[in-house]
Amino acid sequence: MAKIAAEPVPVLTEAMLRRLDRPGPRYTSYPTADRFVEAFGPAEYAQALAQRASGATVGGKPPLSLYIHIPFCESVCYYCACNKVITKHHDKAAEYLDVLTQEVALHTAVLGHGQAVSQLHLGGGTPTFLSDDELTRLMAMLREAFRLAPGAEISIEVDPRTATPERLQHFAALGFNRLSFGVQDFDADVQKAVHRVQPFDSVQALMQSARALGYESINADLIYGLPRQTPESFARTIAQVAELRPDRIALYSYAHLPQRFKPQRRIIVEQLPPPEHRVKMLGGAIAGFIAQGYTYIGMDHFALPGDALAAAKRQGRLHRNFQGYSTQPDCDLIALGVSAIGRMGATYSQNAKTIDEYYDAVRQGQFPTVRGLALSRDDLVRRAVVMALMCQGRLDFESIELAHLIKMRDYFKAELDDLAELQSLGLCELRADGVQVTATGWYFVRAVAMVFDRHLRADQVRERFSRII
């Protein structure tokens, strides 16, 4: 087997990090979800499904992916920006599964049974809020409606506080082959400040159990910028995570938006780390994980060299969807459950954001779509550009021109001119045949992609997004 080259350490100066510390989208889609409109509703979503069913899509049917949103949590984490329902009443889950079953039936009525699925993900909320019997029921229902393809990625987000080795064994028996543990931070003071206490030893025991059970990939989520975090305390968390040796690591920047997310109002603003500390945390995390042999995948993901995600990066096969970086080709994504966001053909859609609205729509035999977007020709061109930069770190003019019948230097004259600043920072190189993101620029790739975002260029309102740093 050929030896995999060590990951180069980027040249990251504090001056560069400060200059790039501004809000920006994560580009799990383009256009981003904040651009969805209410004019796209159940009828438009049904039409997009029907086009897939009839094969009337450009380039034939893409693979199919499923996302199921389980909104319930027993307690609130103060940093959380997810759509959730805080309750200790587990009987609510049975009613939710009843409605999910009805929503799936609405889809199979259009698509037919047995559509092949290459990727399935349970997110939340806390999917492990469901009991073992309820998860068994959910997976049986999905397998009856869809056909999970051989080698399909089947993943579940796990709250270490609601999991045991026995539960992990049950998940494996149900077909789950990938786990994502919500770690965030191991420092006791930080955990208390965000109302999420989970000792290192308990996560370590679960990680060891997962390895013994043969899970293909184990992910750990981390957040920097939380209250009471310091560069020193976060460095200790980085070392502990490296000791656990997860196959993948997702490192997110905390976005403090209390006006949008009510739980964040419980965070004491004075305890949030200042910008210069956030910069040191990010730089320290990047250096720490690379020193431990991890490959930087892009934006907020790391992976061990032997993981499929690292292999996809080396081979230029990275893709990006609403769950982040993926090895899967561009998929049509059926999103099930309250607030879930999906993609079908050249459209995006989002389900009702409250349980009552979601229940009412489905029980009336209607898709619970409350907003979405039918992409324009310009959206499709820019999506191709943004995703090429986000996933391959390179924009090839000829491929875009042939696919979309445009002249890049004419169509994007203003954007290419604006790349001069990022080129001066050493983040990208503008060449005759395209744009190349540099090794250092890869760590700030969304700053490069933002240049091509028509919506951002039009309104310059960015405070709805997390900060790049």
At 280, which CATH number? 3.80.30.20
Sequence-separated (6 or more) residues with CB below 8 Å from residue 215: 168, 172, 176, 177, 178, 179
In a domain, 344, yes or no: no
Report the relative pairing of strands 72-73 and 85-86 from DSSP bridges: parallel
467, 19 in Cβ contact below 8 A? no
In a domain, 359, yes or no: no
In a domain, 87, yes or no: yes
Task: Tell me the per-residue pLDDT of 116-159, one tens digit each, with 9 for 90 and over.
Answer: 999 999 998 899 999 999 999 999 999 999 999 999 999 999 99
Phi and psi at 205, nearest 5°, equal -65, -40
What's the burial of 354, exposed, middle or buried (CB within 10 Å: 0-12/13-18/19+)?
middle
In a domain, 349, yes or no: no
Amino acid 467: pLDDT: 63
- Residues that constitute the known binding site: 67, 73, 77, 79-81, 124-126, 157, 184, 196, 221, 255, 341
Between 23 and 204, name the one with better pLDDT.
Answer: 204
Domain count, the chain: 2
Sequence-separated (6 or more) residues with CB below 8 Å from residue 173: none
Examine the domain organization and report whether 141 and 114 are in the same domain.
yes
Does the pTM exceed 0.85? yes
Examine the domain organization and report whether 269 and 178 are in the same domain.
yes
In angstroms, the first-to-last Cα distance of the chain is 37
Containing structural domain, residue 409: 9-31+377-469
Quick one: pLDDT band at residue 260, thresholds 50, 70, 90?
Answer: confident
In a domain, 147, yes or no: yes
Task: Tell me the per-residue pLDDT of 374-386, one tens digit each, with 9 for 90 and over.
Answer: 999 999 999 999 9
Examine the domain organization and report whether 247 and 131 are in the same domain.
yes
Examine the domain organization and report whether 304 and 322 are in the same domain.
yes
- Residues that constitute the known binding site for [4Fe-4S] cluster: 73, 77, 80
Examine the domain organization and report whether 188 and 330 are in the same domain.
yes
Examine the domain organization and report whether 317 and 384 are in the same domain.
no
Examine the domain organization and report whether 66 and 162 are in the same domain.
yes
Q: Give the residues across from 436 on adjacent strands.
A: 394, 429
Examine the domain organization and report whether 291 and 157 are in the same domain.
yes
- Residues that constitute the known binding site for S-adenosyl-L-methionine: 67, 79-81, 124-126, 157, 184, 196, 221, 255, 341
Q: From CA 272, how far away is CA 254, in angstroms rounded? A: 10
Examine the domain organization and report whether 25 and 91 are in the same domain.
no
